[in-house]
Structures are given as structure tokens and as C-alpha cells.
């Protein structure tokens, strides 16, 4: 795999997960299972070094629609 391919894979996966999540919210009235998911992450942690302060944190919500988008992105990448 060339170096540029991994960048396109990550970009395609992120885009497809975002589109899948948006479509899941748009069609949540017809298919409420698309919005079923769990949140993962950790709260903000602060590192104070007197000169500057850094705050780290991460949170994500993985839904069924996002997983479908993730799988679609990988399939599309393999077809390219």
C-alpha cells in the first residue's frame, strides 16, 4: 500500500461515517434503530506546566448508521 492510500482511506472512512450519522438522524423516524449506539471517550484532563496549560479530551458516539457508513467507506475504498 502506498503512503497516499492510507490518507484517502482515513478521509473516506471519516466522510462515510459522518454521512451515515447524518442519514441516520434524518431517517430516525422511519428506522429508529439507526440511532442506537454507545458513547465512548474520556473527560477533559488538564496538564498545567505554569508556562502553558494543555487540556486533553475525547468523546465519540458510535451508532448503527455510523457503522454502516464505516463499512460502506471501506467497501468503496476497496473498489477504487
Percent of the chain with pLDDT over 90: 14
CB crowding 45-76: b at 16 or more within 10 Å, else e = eeeeeeeeeeeeeeeeeebbbbbbbbebbeee
State the pTM of this model: 0.69
pLDDT band at 3 (very low <50, low <70, confident <90, very high): low
What does the pLDDT look like over 28-66, one tens digit per residue? 888 888 888 888 898 899 999 889 999 999 988 888 988
Amino acid at each position: 500500500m502506498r503512503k497516499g492510500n492510507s490518507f484517502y482511506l482515513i478521509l473516506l472512512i471519516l466522510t462515510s461515517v459522518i454521512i451515515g450519522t447524518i442519514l441516520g438522524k434524518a431517517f430516525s423516524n422511519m428506522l429508529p434503530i439507526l440511532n442506537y449506539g454507545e458513547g465512548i471517550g474520556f473527560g477533559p484532563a488538564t496538564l498545567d506546566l505554569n508556562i502553558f496549560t494543555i487540556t486533553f479530551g475525547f468523546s465519540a458516539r458510535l451508532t448503527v448508521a455510523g457503522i454502516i457508513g464505516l463499512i460502506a467507506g471501506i467497501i468503496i475504498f476497496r473498489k477504487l
